[in-house]
Amino acid sequence: MVIGKADLHNHTTASDGTMPPAAVVARAKAAGLAAVAITDHDTMAGVEEALAEGRKLGITVVPGAELSTVADGRDIHVLAYYPDWENELWQERLAGLRATRGTRNEMIVERLTQLGIPVKMQEVEHIAAEQALAGGGKGKGKTIGRPHIAELLIRKGAVSTMAEAFERYLGEGGAAYVNPPRLHPFEAIEWIREAGGTSVIAHPGLYGRDDLVEQLIGKGAQGIEVYHSDHGTEEEQRYAGLARKHGLIITGGSDFHGERQGEVFHGEIGSKTVDVSVLEQLRKNR
C-alpha cells in the first residue's frame, strides 16, 4: 500500500497557472507529496508532460481537468479525474468549453475598453503565449482566462495586484464581469461519466449555494472537494458531513496557480491534501 499525501487540485501554464506542468510536479515532489493532480481549466494539454515528469521523479500524477460551468447565473466548477483524456469526443467537448471561454474573454475586454481602459485581446493572447513559452509549452489546447487579463491590467497600470483586478473588474460583481451561457454542471457530470472519469464538485464553499450542491449530488456527482485553500474549518466539517451522508468521495487540494507578484494563488502545493488512498476510490468510481 502506498503511503503519503495527495494534492488533487493544481493548475499549470496549460491554463491560468504560471508554472509549466513539469515544474508543478517537481514542486509537489519537493513538498513531499506522494501524488499530485493536474486539473487545468477546460483542457488536459499539460497532462502528458506532467506524467512524464512524474515517472522521472517517482511521484504519481493524476490526470484531470476542471470544467467551467454555470447554474442559476453562478460559476460552478466540476473536477474530472482519470477521464480517457485521449478520447476524441472528450477532447472535442473540452475544445468547445475553451471556445466559450474565449467568447467570455472578448466580452470582458470589450467592457474594459468601454470603461476607458485601453486593452486588446491580442495583448491578452500575447501574455498567455509568453507564459506558455516560458514554461516550454507550444500552446496547443491551452486555455486563456481571467488571470491573463488581470496580468494585462497590472502591466497597463490600471491595478496594482491580481486581487485588485478581480475585486474591481473581473470577479463576480466587478465592473467588467460577464457570465455568458455555458455548460450546465449537470451536463458536465454526464460528460465526465461518458469519458470514463470520476466527477467531483470543486470548492463548494465558494458558491454559497448548498441547495445547488445537493442537486449536483442528486445528478450523479461522485465526490466533494472538502479540503480547499478557500475553505475554513466550518466548511470542511460541513462538506465532509455531506459527503459521508451521501457516500461520496472526499477530496482536497490547494488549487495552486503558481506565483504572481510574489503571491501564491490560491494556496501552496501541499497546503491542502488527502490521503493518497483516495486515488484508488477515484479510479474505482470511473
pLDDT tens digits along 167-190: 999 988 999 998 888 899 999 999
What is the arithmetic mean of pLDDT over 139-155? 83
At 135 the pLDDT is: 55
Query: Residue 5: which residues within 8 A CB-CB, separation 6 or more?
Result: 32, 33, 34, 35, 270, 273, 274, 275, 276
User: Where is average pLDDT lowest: 1-10, 72-81, 115-124, 226-235?
Assistant: 1-10
At 65 the pLDDT is: 98
Residue 284 pLDDT > 80: yes
Domain residue spans in the chain?
Answer: 5-284
Residue 2 pLDDT > 70: no
Residue 130 pLDDT > 50: yes
User: Where is average pLDDT lowest: 51-55, 101-105, 110-114?
Assistant: 101-105
Q: In which band, very low, low, confident or very high, does the pLDDT at 227 lie, cut at 50, 70 and 90?
A: very high
At 260 the pLDDT is: 75
Residue 137 pLDDT > 60: no
CA angle (150, 78, 191) in 5-degree steps: 120
Pick the CATH number of 5-284 from 3.50.30.30, 3.40.50.700, 3.20.20.140, 3.50.50.60: 3.20.20.140
Residue 43 pLDDT > 70: yes
Residue 136 pLDDT > 90: no
pLDDT in tens, 263-278: 787 899 999 999 999 9
Residue 286 pLDDT > 70: no
At 1 the pLDDT is: 46
173/195 Cα distance (integer angstroms): 34
Residue 138 pLDDT > 70: no
249/279 Cα distance (integer angstroms): 10
pLDDT in tens, 66-111: 999 999 888 899 999 999 988 999 999 999 999 998 898 999 999 9
- Report the chain's mean pLDDT, rounded to a whole number: 92
- Tell me: cis bond preceding 184? Omega within 30 of 0 counts: no
Burial 247-262 (b: 16+ CB within 10 A, else e): ebbbbbbbbbbbebee
Residue 36 pLDDT > 90: yes
